[in-house]
Chains A and B, each alone.
Chain A
Amino acid sequence: MRILVYIDIANGKIKKATHEVISYGADLAAATGDSLIGVAIGSCQDKLEELGSYGLTEVIHLGKEIEQNAPTEVNAWAISALASEMKAKTLLFSHSLSGKLLAPLTAARLKAGIVTGVVSQPELNNGFCVKKSVFSGKAFAKIAIKTELRVLTICPNSYPVKQVSGNAAVSTKAFTAAQSRIRTIKAEKTSGALSLTEAEVVVSAGRGLKGPENWGMVEELAGELNAALACTRPVADAHWRPHHEHVGQTGVAIAPNLYVAIGISGAIQHLAGVNRSKVIVVINKDPEAPFFKAADYGIVGDAFEVIPQLTAALKKVKAS
């Protein structure tokens, strides 16, 4: 039997989250004895062969000449058709913006059971049971999929990437796109920003910063850590920072290796979006801030003094 993994290509580049999904698929294939096949759609500057180093042995590249700024719903139709043709039983996507578009459309076409935001390998001893993040990161649910076909999306930063040797064999196929009724007018790239859900380090700040003019030091720290920027809901609502940086229950949910929270008290709604982070550092001048209870490391101090010092200390370490 076969497992299909969707290779997420944005602006001609393979997304990092795809490496995690491939590693997930490779481990699943090893456990079930299935074969793992990657599906890429549209032109790609990165070498698909090199995905072999994450455990992928075969890639089918559909419509390699087609420019796609972003996946469209048409991709879901192509993936469903390919899955039927290849008799694939399990389809894997990243729980990314494109996964959230394509996975449910594919599941509907294939009448498959779907579980999104999966965080670990399935238990196979009694059917197919996966663990997913629920209650905005405040809990997990174990869900059994009862259908023959299964669609999963894997949470970014929740499955370790494994490096192996070898190249994937890439075959190409024509992309017979049915016409979507949706017409793209224009696509805009956000300037140089690291994708928040994929970033390994995230630096986030709250109302403790007093105003948007004080974000310079946060940006400097983020630059030093190669981190993506995030903020709290009040900050986004006050238009100090763009909405897409809002992390929390009603913003983006993230699980980076390191989350640095500056001037954030740690309201339950904010914690919900970040508490799957592996290590949390909280910098707040209020020792009673609830965020300290959810933190691994903390500094009780004034952000306006601590942050520039921290950036300088990181610079010094890098230089040495």
Chain B
Amino acid sequence: MKILVCISKTPDTTAKIAFTDNNTKFDTNGVQWIVNPWDEWFALVRAIELKEADPTVTVHLLTVGEADADPIIRKALALGGDEAIRINAAPTESQFVAHQIAAIVKDGNYDLVLTGKETIDHNGSTIGGLVAGETELPFISLATKLERQGSTLTITREIEGGQESCEVEFPVVVSAQKGMAEARIPNMRGIMAARTKPLKVIEPIATTEYTETLQFELPAPKFGVKLVAPDQVQELVRLLHEEAKVI
């Protein structure tokens, strides 16, 4: 079984969100970069678990990013991936990224393509579906559980008001979310091994421009909290009813 795990570089979950150049660029000053948590904690760790259960499984990592993405690729490899591909381009928009991934998927003979549910910076939740649409592979979104028997996967996914279990044969694209696996911390042996694992850099394929991010803005600041004494809860009820008009 050959698994492709698509990973993204995102700012750390505690990073300060600010913009420069007339709010057209994310301010990277002082920002720590991490593997997108949805990709790492759920997609990648589940892939590694499948490999641990069956040593013939290979786990391949893929990211679309420039050279500054290499440290997060090494971190992902330290957790347990076998090798990685970096497509040497800034991930400017979802269709661009999906086209790059689809090109690799079409050539790579992968049985399972895993993505995280979304990235914590762009919050698109589109890559899995776009790649599946482009490669004409089945797509299971927002999976919370994935079990393998031979070349059949049994997957539980979240649906409106509940969950659904389904079965599918290889090859398939799955987006992973919470429940799929538990986050891990790389150990020293993994970190040492990751240094020499193959990381192939390839140039992007040409695509047309679908969308362009023009500008960012920050939400309007709050005006300050109105405190109510703990023995005056009826006052809070009144404020919510009469002033905020939300109950």
Interface string of A108-119 (1 = CB under 8 A from B): 110011111100
* A129 CA / B163 CA spacing, docked (Å): 35
Q: A15-B160, A314-B237 are in contact. Are A302 and B230 (CB under 8 A)?
A: yes
A116 partner residues in chain B, CB cutoff 8 A: 123-126
Q: Are A201 and B247 in contact (CB under 8 A)?
A: yes
B94 partner residues in chain A, CB cutoff 8 A: 104, 114
Interface string of B139-174 (1 = CB under 8 A from A): 111101000000000100011111111111100100
* A19 CA / B123 CA spacing, docked (Å): 23
B195 partner residues in chain A, CB cutoff 8 A: none
B230 partner residues in chain A, CB cutoff 8 A: 299-302, 305-306
Chain B: minimal CB distance from A186 (Å):
5
A96 partner residues in chain B, CB cutoff 8 A: 160
Chain B: minimal CB distance from A127 (Å):
9
Q: Are A70 and B159 in contact (CB under 8 A)?
A: yes
One of B14, B131, B210 near A145 (C-beta < 8 A): B210
Q: Is A185 an interface residue (CB 8 A)?
A: yes
Decide if the interface of chain A is mainly helix, strand, loop or mixed.
Answer: mixed
Q: A15-B160, A181-B169 are in contact. Are A253 and B219 (CB under 8 A)?
A: no
Q: A139-B219, A305-B230 are in contact. Are A182 and B211 (CB under 8 A)?
A: no
Decide if the interface of chain B is mainly helix, strand, loop or mixed.
Answer: mixed
One of A105, A138, A249 near B132 (C-beta < 8 A): A105
* A139 CA / B158 CA spacing, docked (Å): 27
Q: Is B57 an interface residue (CB 8 A)?
A: no
Q: Is B185 an interface residue (CB 8 A)?
A: no
Q: Is B222 an interface residue (CB 8 A)?
A: yes
Q: Are B133 and A114 in contact (CB under 8 A)?
A: no
Q: Is A169 an interface residue (CB 8 A)?
A: no
Q: Are A279 and B162 in contact (CB under 8 A)?
A: no
Q: Are A253 and B247 in contact (CB under 8 A)?
A: no
Q: Are B213 and A146 in contact (CB under 8 A)?
A: no
Chain B minimum-CB-distance residue to A291: B225
Q: Is B53 an interface residue (CB 8 A)?
A: no
A131 partner residues in chain B, CB cutoff 8 A: 217
Q: Are B237 and A144 in contact (CB under 8 A)?
A: no
B134 partner residues in chain A, CB cutoff 8 A: 108
Q: Are A297 and B239 in contact (CB under 8 A)?
A: yes
Chain B: minimal CB distance from A298 (Å):
5
Chain A minimum-CB-distance residue to B246: A258
Within A163-220, the residues touching B (CB, 8 Å) are: 180-190, 193, 195, 200-201
Q: A107-B126, A187-B164 are in contact. Are A139 and B236 (CB under 8 A)?
A: no
Interface size on B, residues (CB 8 A): 80
A195 partner residues in chain B, CB cutoff 8 A: 160-161
Chain B minimum-CB-distance residue to A191: B162
- Surface stretch bound by B, among A36-44, A51-59, A83-91, A268-276: A268-276
Q: Are B168 and A299 in contact (CB under 8 A)?
A: no
* A246 CA / B129 CA spacing, docked (Å): 24
Q: Are A10 and B161 in contact (CB under 8 A)?
A: yes
Q: Is B49 an interface residue (CB 8 A)?
A: no
Q: Is B2 an interface residue (CB 8 A)?
A: no
Interface size class of A (residues with CB under 8 A): 35 or more
Q: Is A73 an interface residue (CB 8 A)?
A: yes
B123 partner residues in chain A, CB cutoff 8 A: 116-117, 132-136, 253
B128 partner residues in chain A, CB cutoff 8 A: 104
* A11 CA / B160 CA spacing, docked (Å): 8
Chain B: minimal CB distance from A189 (Å):
4
One of B38, B164, B209, B222 near A294 (C-beta < 8 A): B222
Q: Is A244 an interface residue (CB 8 A)?
A: yes
Chain A: minimal CB distance from B171 (Å):
10
B240 partner residues in chain A, CB cutoff 8 A: 258, 279, 281, 297
B98 partner residues in chain A, CB cutoff 8 A: 104, 108
Chain B minimum-CB-distance residue to A95: B125
Q: Are A103 and B211 in contact (CB under 8 A)?
A: no
Interface string of B169-202 (1 = CB under 8 A from A): 1001000001100000000000000000000000
Q: Residues of A at under 8 Å CB distance from B? A: 8, 10-11, 15, 69-70, 73, 76, 95-98, 100-109, 112-117, 129, 131-147, 180-190, 193, 195, 200-201, 225, 236, 243-244, 246, 249-251, 253, 257-258, 268-269, 272, 275-276, 278-282, 292-302, 305-306, 309-310, 313-314, 316-317
Nearest 8 Cβ contacts at the A-B interface: A108-B133, A104-B129, A301-B230, A10-B160, A70-B159, A113-B210, A258-B246, A104-B126
Q: Residues of B at under 8 Å CB distance from A? A: 11, 13-14, 17, 19, 37-38, 41, 94-95, 98, 117, 120-134, 138-142, 144, 154, 158-169, 172, 178-179, 208-219, 222-223, 225-231, 233-234, 236-237, 239-241, 244, 246-247
- What are 9 contact pairs spanning A and B, CB under 8 A? A100-B117, A105-B139, A132-B123, A139-B216, A181-B169, A190-B161, A250-B41, A310-B233, A317-B237
